[in-house]
């Protein structure tokens, strides 16, 4: 029973980290950063000062991080307790009631057999959750569930880099309700808010260092540098 509980808890832990990563991505974090932050929150290892603002400065991300921390603490206690009990003799194999089992496997061997089963289970679960095709199917299914149930409000905002002073590089997708749509960079007043547009990605074309007369069109991606708080506020992307 303890072994089964350990495996179930381990699967739930992997799922929780995966769901956390998807949720962070939906709030605008880059994929690898979202995965790292999810694992950091769940394991309780925390994240660097440079990246702290990405989580603490956003209400949705704070809620996700809080849930991961609570689940991580509960999961860690359960994993440790079930793992310790799993290594006790007469926990797993005798429950199968196989005749003469005690003659094949003496009781003092059972903890080692249990340990092998635990290690094999961890390896199998890890391979399932890191295998490209399996991970993609699991991720897509979880993403659809999260979006369908409206747990997280997706944003078209990606924070690529952040410094300790609150400045960073962000990629912002221009949608129909964007306040800068169909305006030139000059008339968008982004410069007044200390926001510089480094590149405009338009389809397969990239416009580096766009001039002030460049018009911002629907579905353009603006790679901006500036204070992240200003970018969120001025482009109506705050959660």
Domain residue ranges of the chain, discontinuous segments joined by +: 2-148, 157-234
- The DSSP output letter for 184 is B
Check residue 102 and give its pLDDT. Answer: 52
pLDDT surpasses 60 at 89: no
> Which of 18-22, 77-81, 119-123 has the highest mean predicted lDDT (pLDDT)?
18-22
Check residue 211 and give its pLDDT. Answer: 93
Identify which has the larger pLDDT, 211 or 62. Answer: 211
Check residue 157 and give its pLDDT. Answer: 53
> Which of 4-13, 104-113, 178-187 has the highest mean predicted lDDT (pLDDT)?
178-187
pLDDT band at 217 (very low <50, low <70, confident <90, very high): very high
pLDDT band at 162 (very low <50, low <70, confident <90, very high): low
| Nearest one of 213, 216, 211 to 234, comparing CA atoms | 216
CA geometry: angle 18, 46, 70, nearest 5 deg: 60
Residue 33 near residue 116, CB atoms below 8 Å: no
CA distance 3 to 9: 10
CATH fold group of domain 157-234: Alpha-Beta Plaits (3.30.70)
């Amino acid at each position: 029973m303890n072994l089964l509980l350990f495996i179930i808890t381990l699967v739930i832990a992997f799922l929780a980290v995966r769901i956390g990563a998807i949720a962070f991505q939906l709030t605008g974090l880059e994929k690898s950063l979202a995965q790292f932050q999810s694992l950091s929150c769940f394991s309780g290892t925390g994240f660097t000062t440079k990246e702290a603002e990405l989580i603490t400065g956003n209400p949705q991300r704070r809620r996700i991080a809080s849930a991961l921390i609570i689940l991580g603490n509960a999961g860690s206690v359960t994993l440790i307790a079930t793992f310790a009990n799993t290594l006790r003799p007469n926990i797993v194999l005798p429950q199968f009631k196989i005749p003469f089992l005690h003659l094949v496997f003496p009781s003092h061997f059972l903890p080692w057999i249990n340990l092998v089963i635990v290690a094999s289970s961890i390896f199998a679960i890890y391979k399932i959750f890191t295998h490209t095709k399996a991970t993609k199917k699991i991720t897509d299914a979880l993403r659809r569930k999260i979006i369908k149930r409206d747990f997280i409000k997706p944003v078209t905002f990606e924070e690529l880099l952040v410094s300790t002073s609150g400045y960073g590089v962000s990629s912002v997708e221009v949608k129909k309700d964007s306040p800068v749509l169909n305006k030139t960079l000059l008339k968008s007043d982004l410069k007044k808010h200390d926001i510089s547009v480094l590149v405009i990605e338009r389809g397969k074309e990239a416009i580096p260092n766009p001039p002030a007369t460049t018009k911002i069109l629907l579905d353009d991606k603006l790679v901006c540098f500036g204070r992240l708080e200003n970018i969120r506020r001025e482009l109506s992307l705050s959660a």
